[in-house]
C-alpha cells in the first residue's frame, strides 16, 4: 500500500510538470474530460493491476519530463552541492524537499547540510531588513 501511495504522490508532482508544459502531449491527462471511451473492462481494479497502471503512467510522464526542454528547465539544481545535474521533486529515491521553501536537494546533501541554504539566506536577508529599519540617527 505504501508503494502505491508513493507512486500517486510522484504522479501528482509529475502531473504539475505536464500540465504547465506548453508542448506537453495532450494525452498526458488520461482522466481528462475528453476521454472518448470509458473503458468498460475496468469495473474493479486489483491493487496489483492498479500499481502496474500507475507505474506505466509514471514511466510515460517521467520520460517526457526528462526529454522535454521546457520541463527540464523547470527542474532544480541542488544548492548544497551545486552540481549541474538537474533534479526533480518526484525523484523520491534520490532527492528530498525543504519543508519550508520547497526547494529540492539531493537527499544525501540535505542529510549532510546543517540547514537549508535557501532558508538560511532568507533568514539572513530578513535579519538585515529588520536591522536596516531601525532608526539610524
Yes or no: say if 93 and 85 are a contact pair by the CB < 8 Å rule: no
104 part of the interface to Zn ion, by CB under 5 A = no
- C-alpha 137/C-alpha 133 separation (Å) is 11
In this complex, which beta carbon is closest to Zn ion, that of residue 57 or of residue 116? 116
Q: Which of 81, 92, 107, 113 binds Zn ion (CB under 5 A)?
A: 81
| Region binding Zn ion by CB under 5 A among candidate stretches 29-37, 39-47, 49-57, 106-114 | 106-114
Judge residue 106's burial from the number of C-beta atoms within 10 Å of its C-beta, 0-12 exposed, 13-18 middle, 19 or more buried. Answer: buried
Q: Which of 74, 97, 107, 118 binds Zn ion (CB under 5 A)?
A: 118
| Region binding Zn ion by CB under 5 A among candidate stretches 2-10, 14-22, 35-43, 48-56 | 14-22
Amino acid at each position: 500500500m505504501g508503494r502505491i501511495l508513493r507512486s500517486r504522490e510522484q504522479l501528482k508532482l509529475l502531473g504539475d510538470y505536464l500540465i504547465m508544459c506548453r508542448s506537453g502531449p495532450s494525452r498526458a491527462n488520461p482522466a481528462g474530460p475528453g476521454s472518448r471511451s470509458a473503458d468498460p473492462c475496468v469495473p474493479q481494479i486489483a491493487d496489483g493491476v492498479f500499481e502496474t497502471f500507475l507505474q506505466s503512467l509514471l514511466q510515460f510522464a517521467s520520460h517526457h519530463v526528462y526529454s522535454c526542454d521546457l520541463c527540464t528547465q523547470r527542474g532544480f539544481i541542488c544548492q548544497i552541492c551545486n552540481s549541474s545535474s538537474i533534479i526533480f521533486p518526484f525523484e523520491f529515491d534520490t532527492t528530498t524537499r525543504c519543508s519550508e521553501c520547497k526547494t529540492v536537494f539531493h537527499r544525501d546533501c540535505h542529510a549532510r547540510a546543517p540547514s537549508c541554504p535557501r532558508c538560511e539566506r532568507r533568514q539572513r536577508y530578513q535579519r538585515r531588513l529588520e536591522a536596516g529599519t531601525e532608526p539610524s540617527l
